[in-house]
Amino acid sequence: MKAIIAAGGKGTRLYPLTFTSNKHMLPIANKPLLLYSFEDIVRVGIKEIGIIVNEARPSIENLFGDGSKWGVKITYIDQFVAKGLAHVVKISEQFINGDSFVYHLGDNIFTKGIKKPFDKFKKVKPDALLTIIEHDENYRLGVPFFDDKGKLVRVVEKPKNPPNRFGIPGLYMFSPKVFEAFQGKDAIKPSPRGELEIVDLYNYMLKKGYKVEVAELEGQWRDPGKFDDSLEANKLLMDLDKRTEIKGSVDKNSKLSDGVVLGKGSKVINSQIVGPVRIGNNVEIRNSYIGPYTAIGSDCQLVNCKVEYSIFLEDVNIVDVKGKIEASIIGKHTEIRQTKERIPRYSFIIADHCRIDLPF
């Protein structure tokens, strides 16, 4: 059994942050997004993992290396042009080399992992397994259609009137028979938007009479591909893991509630922090208030400011800002400081290497 993880998307819905950073490397609860899907794969015991990459390959290789840190072997598969989710399968054929495999989108988070559908796939050994999850807006997703006996008959992308509440998240499982879908006169064709669609792989296998099973995922699913979705995913994961872990120093004039994680070398001075909050290594927080659902990357400095429900990447400096910074994502190497006029509240989405002068 092998696995592939798609990490080659452009992340256009997160511009301008993703002009300089691969969206899969943006942090959620102070951990790169891609690491959540990777850990899902590692936890079910798969040892050979292919990661599909684009020009951001160096940053991903820098994080994972050859995989030995996790006891796995990683192969990097270049996707020079993104041509759809099924195209990822097509270009992975040499890596798969006749094995069955799990395909996990690198920007999807499953709060209870993938063990339940994986165990069914491993036990039943179907030619394909479709994972499903209840979703209030499944008309925006692929939707499974069942007959009167509950048997899967087809999968429809973004139907106008879905017949059920199920949608298809970014987790797919196949035997090597799926590669037949790219060959011969019955090969799947690009959709009107010019992409090879993942639903067409399942419809191909259903049409050919292959055994296709369905498994419902447990827990919650997040696909943080937009600004608001990233903040909400950050909040959800902090709610699910409200641990307290203090590795840095806190002076006697500071007050920390439960649910605060403070990294090595970090200092909290004359400040209040209300969890859940994640703070990286070598961070200085002085004369400040840090509110719930805030994730602060390493090497940041926050002085005389108020922050809540935000994500700061590495090396962000916030100094002497009077109003509360809320619902913001701030990129690396960014400085925000006070000027002469006062504004009581700010909301930002800022790319890397920026500087903002605020009114006093």
> Judging by beta carbons within 10 Å of its beta carbon (0-12, 13-18, 19+), is residue 221 exposed, middle or buried?
buried
pLDDT of residue 80: 86
Q: What is the number of alpha carbons within 13 Å of residue 339 lying toward its C-beta?
A: 8
Under a CB-based contact definition with an 8 Å cutoff, are residues 258 and 241 in contact?
Answer: no
Domains of the chain: 2-230 (3.90.550.10), 242-358 (2.160.10.10)
Task: Using alpha carbons, list the distances in angstroms from residue 218 to 27, 223, 240.
Answer: 23, 15, 14
Tokens read off for 20: 């300089």
* Residue 23, phi then psi, degrees to nearest 5: -60, -30
pLDDT of residue 151: 94
Total residue count of the chain as it appears in this document: 360
Residue 332 DSSP symbol? T
pLDDT of residue 356: 76
Tokens read off for 57: 């390959």
Under a CB-based contact definition with an 8 Å cutoff, are residues 274 and 292 in contact?
Answer: yes
pLDDT of residue 229: 85
The β-bridge partners of 279 are 262, 296
Q: Which residues contact 236 (CB under 8 A, 6 or more apart)?
A: 111, 220, 222
Please state whether the peptide bond connecting residue 276 to the residue before it is cis, i.e. omega within 30 degrees of 0.
yes
Q: How far is CA 294 from its chain centroid?
A: 17
Find, among 32, 79, 20, 70, the residue nearest to 51 by Cα.
79
Could you give the CA distance from residue 104 to residue 248 in angstroms, rounded to a whole number? 35
Could you give the CA distance from residue 26 to residue 313 in angstroms, rounded to a whole number? 8
The β-bridge partners of 215 are 131
What is the pLDDT tens value at each position of the chain, 360 positions in all? Answer: 999 999 976 555 555 555 556 678 889 999 999 999 999 999 999 999 999 998 888 989 999 999 999 999 999 999 988 899 999 999 999 999 999 999 999 999 999 999 999 999 999 999 999 999 999 889 989 999 999 999 999 999 999 999 999 999 999 999 999 999 999 999 999 999 899 999 999 999 999 999 999 999 999 999 876 677 889 999 999 999 999 999 999 999 999 999 999 999 999 999 999 999 999 999 999 999 999 999 999 999 999 999 999 999 999 999 999 889 999 989 888 898 887 655 556 777 676 666 677 766
Q: Are strands 334-338 and 27-28 parallel, antiparallel or unpaired?
A: unpaired
pLDDT of residue 332: 87
Is 58 in a helix, a strand, or coil? helix
Is 158 in a helix, a strand, or coil? coil
The β-bridge partners of 349 are 329
Residue 85: in which H helix or E strand, if any?
Answer: helix 85-91
pTM: 0.90
Could you give the CA distance from residue 273 to residue 288 in angstroms, rounded to a whole number? 8
